[in-house]
Structure 1
Amino acid sequence: MIDTSLAPSLPNYYVERLEYSRELKTRLLKNSSDVGALVVTAIDGLASVGKSTLAMALAYDQEVQAHFCDGILWVTLGQQPNLLSLLSAWVQALGDYNFKPISVEATSNQLRTLLYEKAVLLIIDDVWNIEDAQAFNVGGASCQVLVTTRDAEIAEALGANPPCCLDVMEPSQAIELLTKKLGRSITAIEYQPAQDLASSVGYFPLALSLAAAEIASCTTWTQLLEDFQQEVARLKNLNRPKAEEITDETILKRLRLTASLNLSLKRMPKEKQEHFSWLGVLPKNVTITKMMAATLWKMDIYDAAKTLEYLENKAVLSPGVPLKDGTPTYRLHDLFHDLARNLLTAPPNPEDEDNLSGLGITLASAHATFLENYRNKTSKNLWHTLPNDGYIHQHLVWHLSKAQKVEEIHELLREDSETGGNGWYEACARLSQTANFVTDVFHAWELAENSWNETTLAQVIGLQCRYALIIASLNSLTVDLPVGLLVALVEKNMWTPEQGLSYAIQSSNPSQKANLLTQLANHLPSKLKELALSKALAATREIDTRGAEDEEFRAQVLSSLAVKLPPELLSEALAVAREIHFESYRADAISSLADKLPPELLPEALVAAREIQDEEFRARVLGSLADKLPELLAEALATARKTEDEFRRARILSSLADKLPPELLPEAVAAAREIQDEEDRVSVLSILVDKLPELLPEAVAAAREIRSEHCRADAISSLADKLPPELLPEAVAAARKIQDEEYRAEALGSLSDKLPELLPEALAVARVIEFESSRARVLSSLADKLPELLLEAVAATREIQNGYNRAQALSSLADKLPELLLEAVAATREIQNGYNRAQALSSLADKLPELLLEAVAATREIQNGYNRAQALSSLADKLPELLPEAVAAAREIEYEKCRNDALSSLANKLPPELLSEAVAAAREIQFESSRAQALRSLADKFSRIVTRGSRCCHRDSG
């Protein structure tokens, strides 16, 4: 549940404006499909009519909060918003603190995924241009957007239907606001002067609150009205020589508001006026904290808090969003900000004594002074050591730029931390403000480009390379995690399904993205699963198909997707399959989709099948479609018979054999008999005999003619359990003719199920197999069949010299003779190869748990990091306490692909407390690869820049 913590607090003198709020609330409570973006706008485009306040009231309305059950998100944009930072704040409000924002587009997409299934009200306050608002228009079907803007055209462009045009207050509302701000009732004697004053200030909520603050300071209604009217007249004369000709209501409203502001400031003590003026050095729409104000005004925090309270009581400041610890913050209205900024540079002794006194300094000097106050808080004059005050880390580069200290910006981004990393990145990362770091880097890059001339060319190129490297390093933080690790994070509730999906979607590599989304889909709720599959299909379509390897991968992804795709995506999937250039992979893709296709798509699939020129591949697709279109079997069989290559023809016939109806079997037999190669002919006949047992003699005869002894043994083994008694002697004779002991033993062993008397012969043959690994394998396979020959099998096994092979064979025999276990353990201990010894001990530990500790000790002796990690991973099934050691071993693997594989194999076994370490390790893989590539390309000319730049994001990337 997202709370309204991003929304500013309502002022305690808020007055409900039901003529607007009822209509807006009704729109918000309708279904999203019935309502577009909702916009509150001033009818004349002027500020201070209460647009933001009305939006705040809706944000805090209980019915609205109940309707948007997943919460409310608020953002205030203004004229020059830091979009990346503001978008990042929304991502974090949704609970995702792992996302590393690099671009506005990527962060908007992240939000779009996180909000896909949520019912959230998105409030975009103070919009000045359409593009800024569009970046935050990221809600799903159950979300709605509420926008406030001074420009009715923006409201219409954003789709508000119709925009809600907010005007000044009604007279009764104005009196209610004055009463609430005063904290008391207005007496009968005061009522008429109060009405006159409200009318004079134009019923602007901001002007009314300023007026109430002056009345609370013991100014009389009559005096305030008189002063106000004089100030309006003065401003008319100041701005327009012919003041009596000013009749335009828009101009009059602006003058009245300015007059209200001026009067409030003129009644402040000189010291407070100066404090207000210094607020002009801040950016617009900024959050003001007492810690920042203490630095700005060079006073202690207690006095700064009192001064802020004073300005709020005077209605100069409005309440902002409280900090997490409840500390109040404040906001400065745009109009007040403009006045404060003007007072910074205005002369201290104005020619017109009625004008406000300024500070008489340039804006650049004001920024430099403010920065010097902060510089005094650093350690060793290093900016990255600044303490966090909720302000400066977001705005330091902006102030340096305004102070015209461009070189200091470049120096800031070069500062090294004590650990050797980029100090400013680490400072921002600690505060979860990496978006600000990215913005700072791009701003510095732009400043470098703008300083280009013939004299500075070398320096500019160096800076550009450095900033390009930093951005590349940052981009590497957003690349895909190993798929097993990503799935594990979601399965173990370390990440929400939305988070996992958004990370998969982030991948810039279509192949990786398609694979991640396909594997993740089964671990997502239904709606997110549909989105994941849709995105996976789109990514599959984007896979570069210039090479066979890429086309093969596209076909593989489609095959994985086929069983998961909802019916509405099958048409697109078939279109993607048809786009595959290589016919083999196209056939694979279409075949994988065949049994899912609805009747209306079968004609298109059939056309696609017939377009394939290669007979084998065409027959394969026709056969896959035959389950739904049986009439295609004859065409598929005819196509198979046309295939010139006998091996491929045999493959097709074998795949079709089980599907053929009785009337097509004779043709299939004829096609099989046409195959000259005995091995290929047997492979088809052995399948056809299930339907036509009378083919068995022919199949055995063909098997006997196979030249390759390995293939002949396989053919006999495949036929063995189908042979009737009368054919067994011929099969045995064929097996005995095999010269190679390993293949002869296998063939005899397969026939022993029907002729147990062959077992002694098979064992005797196995004992003389030259290669020990083959001897061990055959003996192990025979062990289940010869209980009465076990002792002889043991004797044969003991003759094996290789410890690993002997241990494996003894272990398989120990199921029948448990007393062999100790001998198997002894053989295992003789294994010289550490990985093999660990694996053998681990397999024996299922039968002798007391061997586990010895298996662990043997595993720790393994020098190869990949083998050690894999062995530890297998042991962790029995000893979960080994998992931290397994992760540590995986992180030490030098070859990155092996490290990735090891982490993936571990992912599903890791408890939540180890997943974060695995994530960090996975990110290190990608980051180091990118860093190495950047170093190779830039090291020749910019070795110092590259070396320091390549460290920029390493330390806190996890």
Structure 2
Amino acid sequence: MTKKELVQKEREPIYDSAIPQLPPFPLVGRAEVLEAIKQWIWTADDELNDGGGTVALYGTPGVGKTALATALAHDPEVRAYFLDGVLWAGLGLAPDPTTILNRWGTLLDVSPTVQAKQKSDEWRRLLQEAIGERAFLIVLDDAWRIEDARNLQIGGPYCAYLITTRSSEVAATLAGEGAVKVEELSQEEGVQLLQMLVPGLDMTEKAQQLVQAVAGLPLALKLLGNYVRKQAYSGRTRRIIAALERIERLDERLSIQEPQAPTEQHPSLNADLPLSLRAVIAISEHQLPEQLQRAFYALATIPAKPNTFSEEMACAVMNCTVEQFHLVRDSGLLELSSQGRYTIHQTVHDYAWQRLHEVGGLEKAYCRLLSYLMDFGEMYQKEYELLQQECVTTLACLEQIVGMGKGKEFAELFLMYVPFLMSTAHYEITRQLALRAEAIGWEYKAPVLVVRALFYQGQVLQKLAHLAQAEECFRGALELAQQMNNEEYICSALTEPGWIESKRGPYEQAEQHLLDGLYMANKL
């Protein structure tokens, strides 16, 4: 045993009373990330690398960063490694470093008389001297600003820091390579958590639906599970069914709440406020200027994770500058995805969607998205790899604007993207969109749109080997093109059925159609 270990053995370890209690249920789906964090702390501490023995957990509000930190603070291996104990500080939006340092001073057995006489810088230095070569894990929970965390980094060479934050920038700055993104639970893990929270209730199918609805966010699952369990205590089937039906609604899922336990108080939420998904997400929203809050809501027009979007798209939809978008990004409301793109978690998306409806900005936001997609499609109409990145958003936009009565805009966007959809084998989607485009064409008395929609339907059906149906579509397009006396469309509508007939007969008719098409092509 080393001299350092002998000295440590003579002292009782210190475990900060601010450390939250372990929940009654074990963490689900976190074994791998817990082990990875521990290994990083051991390695960083041994090598004294650039991170200085610092790990920073970051991620979406409610993803379980504090729960992981709590589990690590109670972990037997962690406590065995940091023989002198664990210090904890909940920072939040407006941390009180003096109160935190004074509590630590008391724990470190520094005289209250000495505390009262010292200025803040001198007090930090005295605490650092009191820690000396002692081995503490120092947990800084819910850090919003880099300087707030650094003001409390008073440990010595044998201490390590575990920081939680919503901001990837704060995490990267404070921990370097020790920044760890905390992901939501998988479908299987989410169902396991719900079944643990609501034991004895056969809700496997409903659990799967709920996990999908909140995209595996642990806080959401915990709140929903606790709510259903409370209703199940009555034993009345009607109440349980009513509870399950209630949380199917987006606004209800955001509103389900429970009181904060004194030992589990959220650092950024007033103690007298109940804990809810809405309240936790609103903390980030309220860090933005009011105008930028409204701009953020517009991102609900872009589909949620796993879909991604570019900074350019976000700025166009939000009608904001790059600098303003970065404020939203740094608030923890968005996640950085691959290749410099971004994504928004389903629960944050739901929150923004509801707020967008409340402020009445839905149609304007979709108009901005539509304008961006039209410009993007025109600029990159042949660059299918780029169009593929925005495919999910484009299809979702088409779905929404047709329901807003914007048939003309639907047709323009569809016709711009349909060559890409066909070339990338999105056949069934193309057929459904073409059917809508045809209906819009008849409604708006736009025969050219009807012809093109019928033509694309025929092409899709031909690709799917539904040749008789394809031929019917081409014939419909031909009849209308002839009524319009549009030679270009007549040529196309003759040639395509000619190719079909050349495969299945009648062959004389096929030859005639192809010759007629060739004749029309030569006239163009």
For the aligned pair, the TM-score class normalised by the smaller chain equals 0.3 to 0.5
**Structure ranking higher on relative contact order (CA contacts 8 Å, 6+ apart):** 2
When Rg is computed on C-alpha atoms for both structures, the one with the higher figure is 1
